[in-house]
Amino acid sequence: MRARLNNTFQSLQVRNYRLFALGQLVKLIGVWMMFTTQDWLVFLLGGTAAQLGIVTALQFTPVLALTLLSGRLADRYDKRKILFVANTAWTILSVLFSILVVSGSAELWHVYVFALLLGVASAVETPVRQSFVSELVEIRLLPNALGLSAATFNSARVIGPSLAGIAIALFDVGPVFVFSAVLAVAPLICLLRMRPAELYRTELAPAAAREPARVVDGLRYVRRRPDLMLPMVLMSVLAFFLFNFPVTLQALAKTGFNTGAASFGLFTTAVGLGALVGALVGGTRRARPSVYTVIISAMVFSAFGILVGILPVYWLVVAALVPTGFFMVFFAQAANQRVQLGTDAAYRGRVMALWVFVFMGLNPISGPLVGWLADHAGAGTAIWLGGSIALAATTLSLVVQLRHSGSRLRMRLRPVPRVQIVPAVAAERA
């Protein structure tokens, strides 16, 4: 057990990574508290699921517009300094938003404006943060560091909404925003305490001598790499149709089961709990995951998405959300690791910017669409329909990959029933 734990958390032995993880955990707890409370504030101000979808769209529109540029910056300039500036902007905006809410002056259009402005800060910060992990640890620890980063995110996803649901019931929405703004200071302190000399990176050349790091070169690089294209395409499909839980679970709690903020918090906590376990399991991986790990985990996640949408009983939905969260993150993490570990360092910032683009940048379109569907056809329908489309797409990708590689599926019934991927050479011998 001790050896297993040491293997799971080995990246935390690196001081810079430990500071990074601590700062992100504290900030993300506040972020999830704010997002949960912000979504609830929309309904308190008389909003609908469709208007909540608009908030989500505004929050992610900057990702659509700025993320690829941010990836260019990450490949050309000091990532640590960019992160400090972006997190400073996030903190200032959080403070202003909390003042507005506490004063009782907040209106729905204020939520729209701050969702957009916070989205700008996030669009700059996210791809830089993703690629910065590779500078915090040596390459052999990178799969573990990526897994722990996902675990950090999902720990906050468990803790944040739970605290928000309790805090809203006890103190109303205003104090929750204030607390979130205070927690946003943590990454600034941790970034300042890092030791730049211990980062795993090459020294930056003088500005005039640096390569231009054009966005189009990063796009061409991915286009020439089918092993990177497939996880990107899968993520874009699932992100569009199935990753809209902030919208769909909010609507499911309020209109599907006629419950309140605490129930929405429980839904989100169930997803986050499963996601945390999935992140920790994926964090034990020591090598680049196979394409079939990515595809099959996406298929299972899609199937659980369908199940969540059709279950008629509240507690069954809560129970089903746990494995849904597990496979959601297991898939996302495997795809992320396959992309990061297969990308040359010179292109990593731009490639991870494209990853964030397909993961989050489609929300401006999918958020309002899913919100509209939840309003008119029901939240459950929006979830199972998205899962069905995702399952069809992932099944098609499996068929295409098998045909391209010459491999085939084999079902074994003993000693334990399981499906195996038989490589082309072995398939021919069989």
Residues 6+ apart with CB under 8 A from 176: 33, 34, 37, 164, 167, 168
Backbone angles phi, psi at 226, to 5 degrees: -60, -30
d(C-alpha 376, C-alpha 16), whole Å: 49
Compute the average pLDDT of residues 105-111.
87
Residues 6+ apart with CB under 8 A from 240: 362, 365, 366
Residue 285 in this model has a pLDDT that exceeds 80: no
Share of the chain above pLDDT 70, in %: 87
Residue 272 in this model has a pLDDT that exceeds 80: no
Q: What pLDDT score was predicted for residue 392?
A: 95
Helix (H, G, I), strand (E, B) or coil at 313: coil
Residue 1 in this model has a pLDDT that exceeds 60: no
Compute the average pLDDT of residues 231-257.
82
Q: What pLDDT score was predicted for residue 138?
A: 87
Q: Which two tokens stand for residue 165?
A: 């649901």
**pLDDT class for 62, splitting at 50, 70, 90?**
confident
DSSP 286-311: -SPPPHHHHHHHHHHHHHHHHHHHH-
Compute the average pLDDT of residues 243-247.
75
**pLDDT class for 372, splitting at 50, 70, 90?**
confident
Q: How far is CA 381 from CA 96, 313, 407, in A?
A: 37, 15, 36
d(C-alpha 402, C-alpha 214), whole Å: 34
Q: Which two tokens stand for residue 31?
A: 């972020």
Backbone angles phi, psi at 259, to 5 degrees: -115, -175
Q: What pLDDT score was predicted for residue 51?
A: 79
d(C-alpha 295, C-alpha 86), whole Å: 34
Backbone angles phi, psi at 105, to 5 degrees: -95, -5
Residue 209 in this model has a pLDDT that exceeds 50: no
Q: What pLDDT score was predicted for residue 56?
A: 75
Calculate Rg over the CA atoms of the chain.
21
| 319 vs 244 pLDDT, higher one | 319
Q: Identify the sign of the CA torsion 282, 286, 287, 288.
A: positive
Q: Identify the sign of the CA torsion 282, 288, 289, 291.
A: positive
Q: What pLDDT score was predicted for residue 425?
A: 53
Compute the average pLDDT of residues 64-82.
80
Q: What pLDDT score was predicted for residue 353?
A: 78
Residues 6+ apart with CB under 8 A from 246: 35, 39, 52, 56
Q: What pLDDT score was predicted for residue 395?
A: 93
Compute the average pLDDT of residues 133-149.
83
| pLDDT tens digits, one per residue of 295-307 | 999 999 999 999 9
Q: What pLDDT score was predicted for residue 126?
A: 84
Q: How far is CA 362 from CA 59, 117, 236, 357, in A?
A: 11, 17, 8, 7
| 134 vs 407 pLDDT, higher one | 134
d(C-alpha 232, C-alpha 354), whole Å: 8
Share of the chain above pLDDT 90, in %: 26
Cβ atoms < 10 Å from Cβ of 92:
14
Run of H or E including 315: helix 314-340
Cβ atoms < 10 Å from Cβ of 344:
9
Which amino acid, 198?
E
Residue 84 in this model has a pLDDT that exceeds 60: yes
Residues 6+ apart with CB under 8 A from 376: none
Q: Which two tokens stand for residue 321?
A: 């959300």
Q: What pLDDT score was predicted for residue 430?
A: 44
Residue 137 in this model has a pLDDT that exceeds 80: yes
pTM recorded for the entire structure:
0.73
* Residue whose pair of structure tokens reads 């998405």 in the numeric block: 305
The structural domains of the chain, ordered by start, are 9-202+212-429 (1.20.1250.20)
Residue 407 in this model has a pLDDT that exceeds 80: no
Buried b (16+ CB within 10 A) or exposed e, 351-376: bbbbbbbbbbbbbbebbbbbbbbbbe
Helix (H, G, I), strand (E, B) or coil at 12: helix
Q: What pLDDT score was predicted for residue 183?
A: 94
What is the DSSP code (8-state) at residue 80? H
**pLDDT class for 186, splitting at 50, 70, 90?**
very high
Q: How far is CA 21 from CA 13, 149, 267, in A?
A: 11, 7, 25
